[in-house]
Amino acid sequence: MDGNAAAVRLAEGASLREAFDTADPAAWTALDAGTRVLTQAPGAYVWGSLWEQTDSGQLLVKVLGRERRLLPRGVRLTESQLALGLCHRDGRVRQSALERVGEHPELLPLVVVRCADWVPQVRDRARERLTELLDAAGAARLIPLILRVGRRGRGDFAADLATTVLSPAPREILDPLCRHTDRAVRRYAHRLVIAGRLLSPAELARAAARDDDTVVQDLCADAALAAVVAEGPRDDVLEPLLAARNPRARAAGVTALRRAGMPERAAGFLGDRAGRVRACARYVVRQYGGDPAAWYRERCAGAEVSPGVVSGLAECGERGDAGMLWALTSHPVAAVRARAVAGLRSLDVSDVARFRALLDDPDPGVVREATAALLPSARSLDAEWLLGRLAAERARAVRVSAFRLLHEHSGLVRLRAAVALIDDPDDNLRHAARQAVQRWHPTADVPVGAVEVGELLDRGRELFSDYVLKRRKWEAGLRA
């Protein structure tokens, strides 16, 4: 939002809606800043000195060098004129404008902005005016701006006042706020409706399952589960949570199964795609004497195994389960193979030769996991073999893997790998390689005066200033 342009349009006589998007809270704060800049510009002023009259009995405005009538003395001001006054750089003008804001209720957003004003007299008067003018409907309409201003220093008054006004408000006023596109507004509104007990446990469960904001999910799920604790298990609460797309709501529903005495349903979530849900399911199953590890082993040994089951075995299994996970690294489903490799890493299994073989897997996810498992042992891998995998005809996942592993080497090997990719067509690889060249310094294992170092640095000459290039060569025992 261009606040300067909006201020100029208002000064030229445009209405608020013609000058900017009045539904956008950021537009009001931008107008405030833009008007202040405009009135501070050399040779430009709006409202001049406080209520100063010209010979003709009128105040004049000079915008960008053009003189225009703005404030006829003794007549009703337009909304545009008063908006400029509420944002004027002179605090006395802002304070005077507040006295006339009742003539134009559509300027209440600027009263909210002035409640955080840096001038105490303006701030206090704005707070008095807002207290006089704000009702529940107005607070609901202005809450996006109020919350935005509330993040400023001295900005908490308007938010506190809105809470006082909206707390006893009927549900029909708060319901639209619970569906607002601004997540800060949805969080605020859900806190109010939960505190006022305006939503039933079933509605809270549906809100937790529907909303994409994690804070709202937690607020609603916790409130719904509190009702389950107080009133006992309810299908209209559990079912929406258990069927939710977001893991937080599903996890809350699974946890509630413990109090509901339904461990068999919790067992159905042991292989969930989300680790949070799997952990909750294991907790419930264990509370009723079940053995999640045995459940995972049975399914990993079967024909139909899901990625979540593989991860679950790694999360609660033992090193003795590594054999089962190694077998799954050749599974036809790529996600299962990737989870198996990740599981082996989480069990702290170290088998460099077998992990190295997985670097040629056709799935990038498997290659990434195998690379992560090899990073601690990267220096034991053959550097020439890895350098060969940087070739342009190789798959991107393979090239990224080789570069990551070579970067774990020191000295000359790291420099060779980085220089090999400084002109690579892949943007990310090229950027990483260039950064590696710029950060390279010779280590103790680099032969002093090695000619190859000078040749490699010269290939990356464009990445250094002349001074830095000379410095690098001098560090390597070379003459520039």
SS3 state of residue 390? coil
Which amino acid belongs to residue 176?
P
pLDDT tens digit sequence for 407-462: 999 889 999 999 999 999 999 999 999 999 999 999 888 888 889 899 999 999 99
- What would the DSSP string read from start to end of 393-409? TS-HHHHHHHHHHHHTS
- Global pTM value: 0.76
SS3 state of residue 442? coil
SS3 state of residue 312? helix
pLDDT tens digit sequence for 287-303: 999 999 999 999 998 87
Task: Please give the mean pLDDT across all residues of the chain.
Answer: 88
Closest to 271 (Cα-Cα) out of 254, 289, 256: 254
Tokens of 40: 């501070």
Inform me whether the pLDDT recorded for 233 exceeds 80: no
Q: Estimate the crossing angle of helix 136-150 against helix 183-195, to 10 degrees.
A: 120
Percent of the chain with pLDDT over 70: 91
Q: Are 201 and 231 in contact (CB under 8 A)?
A: yes
Every domain of the chain with CATH number 1.25.10 lies at: 382-480
Give the model's pLDDT for residue 75. 55
Q: Are 256 and 230 in contact (CB under 8 A)?
A: no
Average pLDDT over residues 171-192: 95
Tokens of 105: 């209720």
Phi, psi for 59 (deg, rounded to 5): -85, 145
Average pLDDT over residues 321-349: 94
Confidence band of 1 (pLDDT split at 50, 70, 90): low
Inform me whether the pLDDT recorded for 125 exceeds 50: yes
Q: Which CATH number fits domain 382-480: 1.10.10, 3.10.20, 1.10.3470, 1.25.10?
A: 1.25.10
Q: Which of 85-94, 116-125, 126-135 has the lowest mean pLDDT?
A: 85-94
Tokens of 277: 């849900």
Confidence band of 41 (pLDDT split at 50, 70, 90): low
Better-scored residue on pLDDT, 55 or 241:
241
Give the model's pLDDT for residue 81. 85
For residue 129, give Cα distances in angstroms to 17, 107, 123, 338: 23, 12, 10, 62
pLDDT tens digit sequence for 245-280: 999 999 999 998 988 888 889 999 999 999 999 999
Closest to 9 (Cα-Cα) out of 34, 29, 26: 34
Better-scored residue on pLDDT, 72 or 138:
138
Inform me whether the pLDDT recorded for 67 exceeds 60: no
Confidence band of 12 (pLDDT split at 50, 70, 90): confident
CA–CA gap between residue 428 and residue 214 (Å, rounded):
31
